[in-house]
Amino acid sequence: MPEATGPAASWRIHLPHTTAAVPIARALIRTALNDIVPTAAPLPDGDTAELLTAELVANAVEHTAGRGPIELVVELLAAPGGCQIEVHDSEPAGPGELALPDPDAEVDPWQEHGRGLLLIRALSSDCGHRPTPHGKAVWFTLPGIPAQRRREEP
């Protein structure tokens, strides 16, 4: 994989520690990827970025005690393009397993929880978590897609 040369643009936004944070985060990602184009570097698929961001924010709201806001950090990468998105929260404990699941493990189709991290693992080019001075950051990266390969909006 080519090494990134750094962010072309980045944003750091505090979100409320409520379920209202999820649609706000989706709208912010949509705006960042569709309305703000600071570089000629390829951008990631916006629908995937929105979905995975919503999963991380929803997890932060559901699985943390509500001490302080949730922080959304978006970096558009200059080269080779794409983005890295992080969600910071106040809970120091890491999220569930972000490694690829065992392909032979049986999945319960009626299970209501645990699909978010599976989506993040399956749809991102990389993901993980790290401690921060005030809790943790859970992140994912998406590769850039050249403009001619991105689907056209109607």
Q: What mean pLDDT do residues 61-79 have?
A: 85
pLDDT reported for residue 5? 53
Q: Is the pLDDT of residue 69 over 50?
A: yes
The answer as to whether 107 is a domain residue is no
Instruction: Name residues whose C-beta falls within 8 Å of residue 123's C-beta, 6 or more positions apart in sequence.
Output: 48, 51, 52, 142
Residue 106 counted as domain residue: no
Which residue type sits at 66?
Answer: G
Asked whether residue 11 is assigned to any structural domain, the reply reads yes
Per DSSP bridges, beta strands 7-15 and 135-142 are unpaired
**CATH number of the domain that residue 91 is part of:** 3.30.565.10
- Number of domains forming the structure of the chain: 1
Residue 47, both tokens: 């629908």
Taking residue 48's Cβ as centre, other Cβ atoms within 10 Å add up to 16
Q: Structural domain of residue 74, as residue ranges? A: 7-54+66-95+113-147
Q: What is the pLDDT of residue 14?
A: 95
Question: Please, which pLDDT band fits residue 86 given cuts at 50, 70 and 90?
Answer: very high
Cis omega (within 30 of 0) on the bond before 143?
Answer: no
Q: Is 105 inside any structural domain? A: no
**What is the pLDDT, as a whole number, of residue 58?**
93
Beta strands in 1-154 (DSSP E): 7-15, 70-77, 83-89, 126-132, 135-142
* pTM attached to this predicted model: 0.80
How sure is the predictor about 80, in pLDDT bands with cuts at 50, 70 and 90? confident
- pLDDT the model gives residue 146: 76
Does 153 map to a domain?
A: no
Q: What percent of the chain has pLDDT over 90?
A: 45
pLDDT single digits (tens) 102-146: 556 666 555 555 567 888 988 999 999 999 998 999 999 999 987
Q: Does residue 1 surpass a pLDDT of 50?
A: no
Q: Pseudo-torsion of CA 33, 124, 26, 28, nearest 10°?
A: -40
Within-domain flag for 120:
yes
- Helices (H) and strands (E) counted in the chain, each on its own, are 3, 5
| Strand duo 83-89 + 7-15: pairing | unpaired
Judge whether 1 lies within some domain. Answer: no
Determine, yes or no, domain membership for 117: yes
Instruction: Please tell me the predicted confidence (pLDDT) of residue 140.
Output: 96
